[in-house]
Structure 1
Protein backbone atom coordinates (compact mmCIF):
# COMPACT_ATOMS: atom_id res chain seq x y z
CA UNK A 1 0.00 0.00 0.00
CA UNK A 2 2.77 2.45 0.84
CA UNK A 3 4.47 1.59 -2.45
CA UNK A 4 1.32 2.62 -4.36
CA UNK A 5 1.17 5.85 -2.39
CA UNK A 6 4.77 6.62 -3.32
CA UNK A 7 4.06 5.90 -6.99
CA UNK A 8 1.03 8.18 -6.91
CA UNK A 9 3.04 11.01 -5.37
CA UNK A 10 5.78 10.55 -7.98
CA UNK A 11 3.26 10.66 -10.83
CA UNK A 12 1.65 13.79 -9.41
CA UNK A 13 5.06 15.49 -9.27
CA UNK A 14 5.74 14.52 -12.88
CA UNK A 15 2.38 15.95 -13.98
CA UNK A 16 3.15 19.25 -12.25
CA UNK A 17 6.55 19.40 -13.99
CA UNK A 18 4.94 18.78 -17.37
CA UNK A 19 2.30 21.43 -16.70
CA UNK A 20 4.97 23.98 -15.83
CA UNK A 21 6.83 23.09 -19.02
CA UNK A 22 3.63 23.56 -21.01
CA UNK A 23 3.55 19.97 -22.23
CA UNK A 24 0.31 19.00 -20.50
CA UNK A 25 -2.51 21.54 -20.21
CA UNK A 26 -4.05 21.88 -16.77
CA UNK A 27 -7.55 20.96 -17.96
CA UNK A 28 -6.35 17.69 -19.49
CA UNK A 29 -4.55 16.57 -16.36
CA UNK A 30 -7.28 17.49 -13.91
CA UNK A 31 -9.17 14.31 -14.77
CA UNK A 32 -12.59 15.97 -14.60
CA UNK A 33 -13.48 16.91 -18.15
CA UNK A 34 -17.10 17.58 -17.22
CA UNK A 35 -16.09 21.06 -15.99
CA UNK A 36 -14.87 22.13 -19.43
CA UNK A 37 -17.54 24.30 -21.03
CA UNK A 38 -17.96 25.92 -24.39
CA UNK A 39 -19.51 29.31 -24.95
CA UNK A 40 -19.44 31.20 -28.23
CA UNK A 41 -18.42 34.39 -26.44
CA UNK A 42 -15.53 32.62 -24.72
CA UNK A 43 -14.45 31.05 -28.00
CA UNK A 44 -14.39 34.43 -29.76
CA UNK A 45 -12.44 35.83 -26.82
CA UNK A 46 -9.90 32.99 -27.01
CA UNK A 47 -9.41 33.50 -30.73
CA UNK A 48 -8.92 37.21 -30.16
CA UNK A 49 -6.50 36.63 -27.27
CA UNK A 50 -4.39 34.37 -29.46
CA UNK A 51 -4.54 36.86 -32.34
CA UNK A 52 -5.82 34.23 -34.76
CA UNK A 53 -8.00 34.52 -37.81
CA UNK A 54 -10.91 32.14 -38.17
CA UNK A 55 -8.89 30.24 -40.80
CA UNK A 56 -5.95 29.82 -38.41
CA UNK A 57 -8.23 28.64 -35.61
CA UNK A 58 -9.79 26.14 -38.02
CA UNK A 59 -6.32 24.83 -38.86
CA UNK A 60 -5.43 24.42 -35.19
CA UNK A 61 -8.64 22.55 -34.39
CA UNK A 62 -8.74 20.57 -37.66
CA UNK A 63 -12.21 21.78 -38.58
CA UNK A 64 -13.58 23.80 -41.48
CA UNK A 65 -13.72 27.56 -41.59
CA UNK A 66 -17.50 27.38 -41.75
CA UNK A 67 -17.51 25.37 -38.51
CA UNK A 68 -15.66 28.18 -36.74
CA UNK A 69 -18.20 30.72 -38.00
CA UNK A 70 -21.11 28.51 -36.93
CA UNK A 71 -19.69 28.05 -33.43
CA UNK A 72 -19.18 31.80 -33.04
CA UNK A 73 -22.69 32.56 -34.32
CA UNK A 74 -24.14 29.89 -31.98
CA UNK A 75 -25.60 28.00 -34.94
CA UNK A 76 -23.85 24.83 -33.80
CA UNK A 77 -21.69 23.62 -30.93
CA UNK A 78 -18.48 21.59 -30.92
CA UNK A 79 -18.46 17.90 -30.05
CA UNK A 80 -16.85 16.70 -26.81
CA UNK A 81 -13.44 15.98 -28.37
CA UNK A 82 -13.46 19.39 -30.02
CA UNK A 83 -14.27 21.07 -26.70
CA UNK A 84 -11.24 19.30 -25.22
CA UNK A 85 -9.04 20.59 -28.06
CA UNK A 86 -10.36 24.12 -27.50
CA UNK A 87 -9.65 23.81 -23.77
CA UNK A 88 -6.06 22.83 -24.55
CA UNK A 89 -5.65 26.00 -26.59
CA UNK A 90 -6.50 28.05 -23.51
CA UNK A 91 -3.13 27.10 -22.05
CA UNK A 92 -0.97 28.42 -24.89
CA UNK A 93 0.14 31.86 -25.96
CA UNK A 94 0.32 33.69 -29.27
CA UNK A 95 3.81 32.47 -30.14
CA UNK A 96 2.94 28.83 -29.47
CA UNK A 97 -0.26 29.12 -31.49
CA UNK A 98 1.58 30.65 -34.46
CA UNK A 99 4.28 27.97 -34.20
CA UNK A 100 1.66 25.20 -34.28
CA UNK A 101 -0.01 26.78 -37.29
CA UNK A 102 3.34 26.95 -39.08
CA UNK A 103 3.94 23.25 -38.35
CA UNK A 104 0.49 22.32 -39.66
CA UNK A 105 0.93 24.37 -42.81
CA UNK A 106 4.39 22.87 -43.40
CA UNK A 107 2.97 19.36 -43.00
CA UNK A 108 0.20 20.13 -45.50
CA UNK A 109 2.61 21.49 -48.09
Structure 2
Protein backbone atom coordinates (compact mmCIF):
# COMPACT_ATOMS: atom_id res chain seq x y z
CA UNK A 1 0.00 0.00 0.00
CA UNK A 2 1.39 3.33 -1.02
CA UNK A 3 2.36 5.80 1.57
CA UNK A 4 -0.47 8.20 2.33
CA UNK A 5 1.96 11.07 2.66
CA UNK A 6 3.29 10.60 -0.88
CA UNK A 7 -0.25 10.34 -2.28
CA UNK A 8 -1.28 13.48 -0.44
CA UNK A 9 1.86 15.26 -1.66
CA UNK A 10 1.18 14.23 -5.29
CA UNK A 11 -2.46 15.37 -5.05
CA UNK A 12 -1.49 18.71 -3.57
CA UNK A 13 1.06 19.21 -6.38
CA UNK A 14 -1.54 18.33 -9.03
CA UNK A 15 -4.14 20.73 -7.61
CA UNK A 16 -1.53 23.49 -7.23
CA UNK A 17 -0.42 23.05 -10.87
CA UNK A 18 -4.05 23.19 -11.99
CA UNK A 19 -4.66 26.42 -10.05
CA UNK A 20 -1.43 27.99 -11.28
CA UNK A 21 -2.26 27.03 -14.87
CA UNK A 22 -5.69 28.68 -14.65
CA UNK A 23 -4.16 31.84 -13.16
CA UNK A 24 -1.45 31.93 -15.80
CA UNK A 25 -4.04 31.56 -18.58
CA UNK A 26 -5.92 34.65 -17.38
CA UNK A 27 -2.63 36.54 -17.11
CA UNK A 28 -1.65 35.47 -20.64
CA UNK A 29 -5.00 36.66 -21.99
CA UNK A 30 -4.61 39.99 -20.19
CA UNK A 31 -1.05 40.31 -21.51
CA UNK A 32 -2.19 39.70 -25.09
CA UNK A 33 -4.97 42.28 -24.69
CA UNK A 34 -2.53 44.84 -23.27
CA UNK A 35 -0.01 44.26 -26.05
CA UNK A 36 -2.74 44.65 -28.62
CA UNK A 37 -3.93 47.93 -27.09
CA UNK A 38 -0.32 49.18 -26.84
CA UNK A 39 0.23 48.43 -30.55
CA UNK A 40 -3.00 50.25 -31.43
CA UNK A 41 -1.95 53.26 -29.36
CA UNK A 42 1.48 53.31 -31.02
CA UNK A 43 -0.14 53.28 -34.47
CA UNK A 44 -2.45 56.11 -33.42
CA UNK A 45 0.46 58.17 -32.03
CA UNK A 46 2.45 57.56 -35.21
CA UNK A 47 -0.47 58.72 -37.34
CA UNK A 48 -0.95 61.82 -35.20
CA UNK A 49 2.77 62.65 -35.42
CA UNK A 50 2.65 62.35 -39.21
CA UNK A 51 -0.39 64.61 -39.34
CA UNK A 52 1.30 67.11 -37.05
CA UNK A 53 4.41 67.18 -39.27
CA UNK A 54 2.22 67.65 -42.35
CA UNK A 55 0.33 70.51 -40.73
CA UNK A 56 3.53 72.12 -39.46
CA UNK A 57 5.06 71.83 -42.91
CA UNK A 58 1.99 73.41 -44.47
CA UNK A 59 1.92 76.26 -41.99
CA UNK A 60 5.63 76.88 -42.54
CA UNK A 61 4.95 77.24 -46.24
CA UNK A 62 2.04 79.59 -45.72
CA UNK A 63 3.70 81.71 -43.04
CA UNK A 64 5.52 84.80 -44.26
CA UNK A 65 9.22 84.26 -43.74
CA UNK A 66 12.02 86.77 -43.51
CA UNK A 67 13.38 85.43 -46.78
CA UNK A 68 15.05 87.91 -49.13
CA UNK A 69 13.87 85.85 -52.10
CA UNK A 70 10.23 86.69 -51.41
CA UNK A 71 8.92 89.17 -53.89
CA UNK A 72 6.25 91.61 -52.79
CA UNK A 73 4.16 90.97 -55.87
CA UNK A 74 4.08 87.18 -55.83
CA UNK A 75 5.03 83.90 -54.25
CA UNK A 76 8.56 83.21 -53.05
CA UNK A 77 10.96 82.33 -55.83
CA UNK A 78 13.33 79.42 -55.48
CA UNK A 79 16.65 79.18 -57.20
CA UNK A 80 18.22 76.02 -58.54
CA UNK A 81 21.68 76.05 -60.07
CA UNK A 82 21.05 72.87 -62.06
CA UNK A 83 17.77 74.26 -63.42
CA UNK A 84 19.54 77.43 -64.52
CA UNK A 85 22.23 75.44 -66.33
CA UNK A 86 19.59 73.22 -67.94
CA UNK A 87 17.57 76.20 -69.13
CA UNK A 88 20.64 77.92 -70.53
CA UNK A 89 21.58 74.68 -72.31
CA UNK A 90 18.07 74.30 -73.67
CA UNK A 91 18.25 77.81 -75.12
CA UNK A 92 21.71 77.08 -76.49
CA UNK A 93 23.23 80.22 -74.99
CA UNK A 94 26.64 80.96 -73.59
CA UNK A 95 26.91 82.20 -70.02
CA UNK A 96 27.75 85.68 -71.36
CA UNK A 97 24.64 85.80 -73.58
CA UNK A 98 22.45 84.53 -70.77
CA UNK A 99 24.01 87.14 -68.51
CA UNK A 100 23.09 89.88 -71.01
CA UNK A 101 19.45 88.79 -70.82
CA UNK A 102 19.47 88.89 -67.03
CA UNK A 103 21.61 92.00 -66.77
CA UNK A 104 24.70 90.45 -65.20
CA UNK A 105 28.07 89.22 -66.39
CA UNK A 106 28.72 85.79 -67.79
CA UNK A 107 30.94 85.07 -64.80
CA UNK A 108 28.01 85.71 -62.46
CA UNK A 109 25.89 83.20 -64.39
CA UNK A 110 28.75 80.69 -64.23
CA UNK A 111 29.11 81.20 -60.46
CA UNK A 112 25.36 80.71 -60.00
CA UNK A 113 25.48 77.46 -61.96
CA UNK A 114 28.45 76.21 -59.96
CA UNK A 115 26.70 77.02 -56.68
CA UNK A 116 29.43 79.48 -55.68
CA UNK A 117 26.96 82.37 -55.53
CA UNK A 118 23.22 83.01 -55.46
CA UNK A 119 21.34 85.70 -57.37
CA UNK A 120 19.94 88.69 -55.50
CA UNK A 121 16.19 89.29 -55.33
CA UNK A 122 16.02 91.63 -58.32
CA UNK A 123 18.23 89.29 -60.35
CA UNK A 124 16.02 86.39 -59.34
CA UNK A 125 13.00 88.26 -60.67
CA UNK A 126 14.81 88.86 -63.97
CA UNK A 127 15.70 85.15 -64.11
CA UNK A 128 12.01 84.35 -63.76
CA UNK A 129 11.23 86.70 -66.65
CA UNK A 130 13.92 85.09 -68.84
CA UNK A 131 12.64 81.65 -67.87
CA UNK A 132 9.30 82.52 -69.46
CA UNK A 133 10.93 83.30 -72.83
CA UNK A 134 11.34 80.86 -75.69
CA UNK A 135 14.27 80.41 -78.10
CA UNK A 136 12.89 82.81 -80.71
CA UNK A 137 12.14 85.56 -78.21
CA UNK A 138 15.62 85.20 -76.69
CA UNK A 139 17.22 85.39 -80.15
CA UNK A 140 15.23 88.53 -80.96
CA UNK A 141 16.28 90.18 -77.69
CA UNK A 142 19.95 89.34 -78.22
CA UNK A 143 19.87 90.56 -81.87
CA UNK A 144 18.19 93.80 -80.81
CA UNK A 145 21.10 94.64 -78.48
**Is the TM-score greater than 0.5?**
yes
In the alignment, structure 1 residue 79 sits paired with structure 2 residue 120? yes
The one-character-per-residue Cα deviations of 1:43-89 (angstroms, maximum 9, x if unpaired) are 00111121211111011111111111110110000000101111111
Report the equivalent of 2:100.
Answer: 59
Paired residues, number: 73
In the alignment, structure 1 residue 32 sits paired with structure 2 residue 74? yes
CA shift for structure 1 position 103: 1.4
> Post-superposition, which runs of at least 4 consecutive aligned residues in structure 1 deviate over 2 A?
none
When normalised by structure 1's length, the TM-score is 0.63
Alpha-carbon distance in 1 for matches of 2:125, 2:134: 17
In the alignment, structure 1 residue 92 sits paired with structure 2 residue 133? yes
> Secondary structure of 1:52's match?
coil
Aligned-CA RMSD value: 1.1
> Secondary structure of 2:124's match?
helix
Report the equivalent of 1:45.
Answer: 86
Higher relative contact order (CA 8 A, sep 6+): 1
CA shift for structure 1 position 33: 3.5
Report the equivalent of 1:5.
Answer: none
Alpha-carbon distance in 2 for matches of 1:87, 1:72: 15
Structure 2's unaligned 5+ residue stretches are 1-72
Alpha-carbon distance in 2 for matches of 1:62, 1:87: 13
